[in-house]
Structure 1
Amino acid sequence: MESIQKSINDMMTLFNSKMEDFQCSLQQANPSPNITSLATDFADFRSFIGVTMASLQRQVALLSQQQEQFEMNFRRNMLLLHGMSEGSNEDLVPEIVHMAKSKLKIANFSEADIARCYRLGRSAVGRKPRPILIEFLNISSKDKFWRAKTVLKGSGLTLSEYLTKIRHQAFMAARQHFGINKCWTRDGCVLIIGHDGTRHRVYTIEDVNRLRGNLQTEVPSVKPAAEVVPAGGIPAAKPAVVPAASAVVGGSSSRPKRAVIKK
């Protein structure tokens, strides 16, 4: 989906560049009725393409949100365990069960509660241990782990939700601006205590920027068509201005005042 969005952005950039070149050619052409008519058609065409591309952009953004939500639902029963020492030929499932009973104090936890368990990424000598992805058999087993995570404080081990790339970026941006103690995740959602003291639910960096009051649109937009003035200073015909509704009373325009001639 990111590649599709990038292709649309590249197309819009190329379109703007080509339209600016064509507009310069119109301005340098000799003035004539044909040039004036062509300038008007060009402005209409550019406006039409801008609306079409904006609509396509919104549809791709909607599909991207739906795909991201589907991916987050797929990760609902997963958690990441950080900080557990890594060794060769390790058997992670028994180690996770032992940790659950000894550190998290979950007495009725067993290997049957784990669907699969493995480390993420490639191993590298001398680096910090890779996080462990734990997929639980059901949401109940996962919630037991998640609720008990506070007892790991100071142990070097931490638990986190397995967020998608978009939500992870939003979470990191929120922590950087609002502070670690005012940001957390729950069921794949990023929760923030804003500067006004209220709780907010965000999903993207754009949502975080809205809370910051500094929304930055990263997607380029089609530039509005500028008025084309051919050589000789003859602008294209402008549409007539429709009077404002406030200037019309009882279905007819307000009457002008009668002039008083002093003798």
Structure 2
Amino acid sequence: MSNIATVLETQRAIEETLMQRTTDFEAHLKVSCASSSSAVDMKALSTDYCHFKSLVGGILALLRQQIDSLVRNVDIIETRHRNKALLVGGVEEKEGEDLLAAVSDVCNNKLGLNNISRSSFTVCHRLGANTQDRPRPILMRFAELSTKSDVWTNKTKLKGSSIVLSEFLTRRHQDVFVAARNHFGIRSVWTKDGNIIVKLPNGKLCRVRDGQEFAKVIELNPITPAEVRHASGSKPAAESIAIKSSSARTKRLVKK
């Protein structure tokens, strides 16, 4: 994903540079047309330039579509690769800790499952740099998809505790997931098998897989349920400010 991100940044830089150069050339061309004695030659040059600019614009648009398609396909593959993985947060971090024992304890004692053992996991380690603020999340990759499904199905039993289970989303999906929750509310957005599920204001469920699909959902549902309640006079002003702030973050994500 990092290489693809680099390609995207390079493509954007080339596009910006090229468009700036063509804009500068247009300005110089207008000055030359106004002062040149060979008006016919300048008109021909202007026509050629317009054709060139149109051609370059088409090439850049095609390149952009190809890169977007490539990024989307890689994200789909990465999501499938993470299908057997879950993140568990809130487990106390200790020096010399036995993570397999810790996550097995969560699954067996907190979730009420009695078939989880060390052999149930193929990967178990913490993510991120060690800090004193809060324990780092633990990445669990299960040997069997059915075991992961059992754990995920019983996650509601953790309600009221400090432990939280979540899916191991890709960066793109995580960004969309956060933006969707900011717009529609926490209770109206969840994940299933790496996909983002949104409960729309009309009660229908919608699957969102990337920023483009999310942009279309926002276009059709610009007003959130929270904003509707506020309009009826049941929502405090402080929350209205928070909604406007989240809407701004949503617009920035859609532009990406």
TM-score bracket, shorter-length normalisation: 0.7 to 0.9
- What are the equivalent positions in structure 2 for 1:112-127 lying under 5 Å apart? 112-124=119-131, 126-127=132-133
**Higher RCO (CA-CA < 8 Å; seq separation 6+):** 1
Q: Secondary structure at the match of 1:123?
A: coil
Matches of 2:64 and 2:161, distance apart in 1: 47
Is 1:63 aligned to residue 70 of structure 2?
A: yes
Q: CA deviation at 1:116?
A: 1.6
- Distance, in Å, in 1 between the alignment partners of 2:158 and 2:114 is 16
Structure 1 counterpart of 2:13, one-letter code: D
2:103 aligned partner, one-letter code:
I
Q: Over aligned residue pairs, what C-alpha RMSD do you find? A: 1.4
What is the percentage of aligned positions where both structures have the same residue? 30
Q: Which residue of 2 aligns with 1:204?
A: 210
**Equivalent residue of 1:200, what SS?**
strand
Moved over 3 A (4+): 214-217
1:184 and 2:190 matched: yes
Candidates 174, 185, 199, aligned match of 2:180:
174
* Corresponding letter in the other structure for 2:105: H
- Please list the CA deviations of residues 214-245 of structure 1 after superposition, one character each: whole Å capped at 9, or x if unmatched: 677636xxxxxxxxxxxxxxxxxxxxxxxxxx
Aligned pairs (5 A) from 1:93-112: 93-112=100-119
Structure showing greater Rg: 1
CA distance in 2, matches of 1:205, 1:197: 22
Q: 1:26 aligns with which of 9, 26, 29?
A: 29
Distance in 2, Cα, partners of 1:78 & 1:57: 32
Aligned residue identity for 1:80? L
Work out whether residues 104 and 145 of structure 1, in 8 Å CA contact, stay in contact via their aligned partners in 2.
yes
| Offset of residue 204 of structure 1 | 2.2
- CA–CA distance in 2 between the matches of 1:52 and 1:152? 52
Aligned counterparts of 2:81 and 2:22: Cα–Cα separation in 1: 44
Q: Deviations over 1:84-124 (max 9, x none)?
A: 11110000101211222211111122111111201001212
Q: C-alpha displacement at 1:5, in angstroms?
A: 1.0
> How many Å apart are 1:138 and its aligned residue?
1.3
Match of 1:41 in 2: 48
- Of the structure 1 ranges 202-211 and 8-17, higher mean CA displacement relative to structure 2 is found in 202-211
Q: Match for 2:18 among 5, 15, 21?
A: 15
Q: Distance in 2 between matches of 1:181 and 1:207?
A: 20
SS of 2:255's equivalent in the other structure is coil
Single out whichever of 52-61 and 192-201 deviates more from structure 2. 192-201
- In 2, are the aligned partners of 1:173 and 1:205 still within 8 Å (CA)? no
Q: Which amino acid aligns with 1:103?
A: K
Calculate the TM-score normalised by the size of structure 2: 0.82
The 10-residue stretch of structure 1 (41-50 or 3-12) with the greater mean CA deviation from structure 2: 3-12
> Partner of 2:141 in structure 1?
135
SS in 2 for 1:79: strand
Whether 1:218 and 2:234 are equivalent positions in the alignment is: no
Q: Where does the alignment leave 5 or more consecutive residues of structure 2 unmatched?
A: 223-250
1:146 aligns with 2:159: no
TM-score of the superposition, structure 1-length normalised? 0.80
* SS of residue paired to 1:160: strand
Q: 2:168 aligns with which of 159, 162, 165?
A: 162
Aligned length: 218
2:79 aligned with 1:72 = yes
- 1:38-61 CA distances to partner (integer Å, 9 max, x unpaired)? 000000000000001100110011
CA shift digits 1:140-193 (9 cap, x unpaired): 111111011000000111100000000000000000110011100000000001
